[in-house]
């Protein structure tokens, strides 16, 4: 293998018509160190692209000098920015008296960014990082990354012929150019990935979206998991007659969790002698009582060694409403943990006037949706996939400092989740 072939192989250049010169130099351009590689592109053309005449002899097409200094950005070499200065052969056609320039698969016509760099941009967009960081790393402009996202987002509209048998529904805060403030996300529970994203969660928009599928197709859906949003429940009952609707367990727990925490916060006023204890030990109050430790450790608030269980017992005994709310909360979360619906049902429908008003509101919400909560006990389905996806979306927005264009935002989500390829 010649030196030229070795260099082409190292640069991942597949065009054997490029001859690399031996002198590779280093140069500072705009305060950046570059490795400058120089080469020439030449070959015998098969035909003239202007008139189409086949090149059979020197009387048809002849070489006509070089187009010099075509600066092509290529991927980094040993973490150094790199430029390929390519001298492209110019040809003259005697038949039509036109000239044309040699072409290569290294870079598209009229571009100065190599196809390998274009591919690397797509691969970088599949990672959780900002567009500015990608542009800096690859030595391209942010506008170039933006144009690449424009190109990708032009074909990110997903068109599925069938609906998932088991679906999860949720929403996330979208961009300002959407139809609604919240975008609607559907995940396929069987495949564990995003099925589709709609730019609005309004009932009329979702009904229009789902009615693209025939009634026969909608009747195949067996299960839908969601939160307590009444709009979703109404829509699911209307369009999916055979689907079992269940409330995700996380949303069941978080309602009771917030009720207990709100009750505790209301007791955190400065005149309360236990203010500091209620404030500092809030995590123990909302923790499952079965996970509390009996090991005694010194507490600066109690000024003695005391266990977690003793701390919680002391705090809830300072207020009857807090104690009743705490016991209700513990019963609810443990019934979910034990998958005991009868226990959950009895707690919800038990007349308890001592619990806080916030917990009473939560129990009313449970009563109204008890049928769908029961399904969450019956079926092994949850919104874990969709909640994880929402966390990824929030992370992406935070890293990118927000998005202005909805299409770009959705394209990044689909790229990172591997649903589309750049």
The answer to whether 158 and 185 are in contact (CB under 8 A) is: no
- Identify each DSSP E strand in 250-409 by its residue range: 297-299, 304-306
HSE at residue 338, side-chain half, CA atoms within 13 A, is 13
Average pLDDT value for residue range 239-264: 94
Mean pLDDT value across residues 330-337: 95
User: Which candidate, 352, 334, 353, places its Cα nearest to that of 344?
Assistant: 334
Q: Is the pLDDT confidence value at 392 over 90?
A: no
Per-residue pLDDT, averaged over 287-312, amounts to 93
- Average pLDDT for 186-212: 89
pLDDT of residue 282: 93
CB atoms within 10 A of CB 99: 15
Asked if residue 155 has pLDDT above 70, the reply is no
Q: Which two tokens stand for residue 385?
A: 């996939």
Q: How sure is the predictor about 157, in pLDDT bands with cuts at 50, 70 and 90? A: low
The mean pLDDT value for 124-145 works out to 89
Inter-residue contact 200 to 181 (CB < 8 Å): no
What are the residues facing 80 on neighbouring strands? 77
What pLDDT is attached to residue 190?
83
Cβ-based neighbour number of residue 227 at 10 Å: 19
Residue pair 197/175 in contact (Cβ under 8 Å)? The answer is no
- Percent of the chain, pLDDT > 70? 99
Write down the pLDDT at residue 199.
87
Residue 129 CB coordination number (10 Å) = 16
Least confident of 33-47, 150-164, 358-372: 150-164
CA 407/CA 157 separation, integer angstroms: 9
Confidence of residue 296 (pLDDT cuts 50, 70, 90): very high
Collapsing DSSP states into helix, strand and coil, what is residue 310?
helix
Torsion of CA 108, 114, 118, 120, to 10 degrees: 160
Query: Quick one: how many helices (H) and strands (E) in the chain?
Result: 17, 13
pLDDT higher than 70, residue 422:
no
Asked if pLDDT for residue 328 goes beyond 90, the answer is yes
Q: Is the Cβ–Cβ distance between 404 and 175 less than 8 Å? A: yes
- Going 179 to 182 to 183 to 189, the CA torsion angle's sign is negative
Flag whether pLDDT at 156 surpasses 70: no
Looking at residue 243, the DSSP 8-state letter turns out to be P
The pLDDT assigned to 278 comes to: 92
Which one, of 182, 113, 177, 206, lies nearest residue 151 by Cα? 113
**Average model confidence (pLDDT) for the chain?**
89
Residue 50 pLDDT exceeds 70: yes
pLDDT band at 267 (very low <50, low <70, confident <90, very high): very high
* Banded pLDDT at 78 (limits 50, 70, 90): confident
Average pLDDT over residues 329-334: 96
Instruction: Give pLDDT, residue 255.
Output: 95
Reduced to 3 states (helix: H, G, I; strand: E, B; else coil), residue 167 is: strand
pTM of the model: 0.77
Instruction: Answer yes or no: is pLDDT of 374 > 70.
Output: yes
Q: How confident is the model at residue 69 (pLDDT cuts 50, 70, 90)?
A: confident
| pLDDT tops 90 at residue 259 | yes
């Amino acid at each position: 293998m010649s030196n030229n072939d070795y260099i082409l192989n190292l640069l991942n250049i597949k065009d054997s018509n490029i001859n690399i010169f031996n002198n590779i130099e280093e140069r500072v351009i705009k305060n950046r160190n570059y490795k400058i590689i120089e080469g020439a592109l030449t070959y015998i053309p098969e035909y003239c692209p202007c008139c189409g005449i086949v090149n059979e002899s020197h009387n048809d097409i002849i070489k006509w000098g070089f187009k010099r200094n075509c600066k092509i950005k290529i991927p980094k070499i040993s973490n150094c920015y790199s430029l390929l200065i390519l001298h492209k052969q110019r040809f003259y056609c005697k038949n039509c008296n036109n000239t044309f320039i040699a072409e290569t698969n290294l870079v598209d016509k009229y571009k100065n960014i190599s196809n390998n760099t274009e591919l690397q941009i797509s691969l970088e967009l599949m990672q959780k990082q900002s567009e500015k960081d990608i542009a800096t790393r690859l030595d391209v402009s942010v506008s170039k990354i933006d144009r690449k996202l424009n190109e990708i987002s032009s074909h990110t509209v997903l068109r599925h012929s069938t609906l998932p048998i088991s679906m999860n529904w949720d929403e996330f805060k979208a961009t300002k150019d959407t139809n609604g403030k919240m975008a609607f996300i559907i995940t396929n529970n069987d495949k564990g990935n995003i099925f589709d994203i709609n730019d609005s969660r309004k009932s009329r928009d979702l009904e229009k979206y789902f009615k693209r599928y025939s009634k026969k197709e909608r009747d195949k859906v067996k299960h839908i998991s969601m939160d307590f949003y009444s709009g979703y429940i109404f829509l699911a009952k209307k369009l999916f007659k055979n689907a079992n609707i269940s409330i995700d367990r996380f949303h069941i727990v978080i309602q009771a969790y917030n009720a207990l925490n709100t009750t505790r916060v209301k007791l955190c006023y400065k005149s309360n002698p236990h203010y500091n204890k209620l404030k500092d030990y809030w995590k123990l109050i909302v923790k499952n009582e079965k996970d509390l430790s009996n090991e005694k450790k010194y507490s600066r608030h109690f000024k003695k060694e005391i266990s977690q269980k003793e701390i919680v017992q002391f705090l809830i005994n300072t207020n009857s409403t807090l104690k009743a709310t705490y016991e209700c909360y513990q019963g609810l979360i443990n019934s979910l943990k034990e998958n005991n619906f009868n226990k959950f049902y009895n707690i919800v429908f038990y007349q308890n006037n001592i619990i806080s008003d916030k917990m009473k509101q939560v129990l009313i919400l449970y009563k109204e949706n008890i049928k769908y909560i029961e399904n969450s006990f019956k079926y092994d389905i949850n919104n874990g996939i969709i909640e994880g996806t929402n966390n990824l979306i929030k992370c992406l927005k935070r890293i990118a400092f927000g998005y202005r264009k909805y299409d770009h935002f959705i394209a990044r989500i689909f790229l990172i989740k591997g649903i589309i390829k750049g």
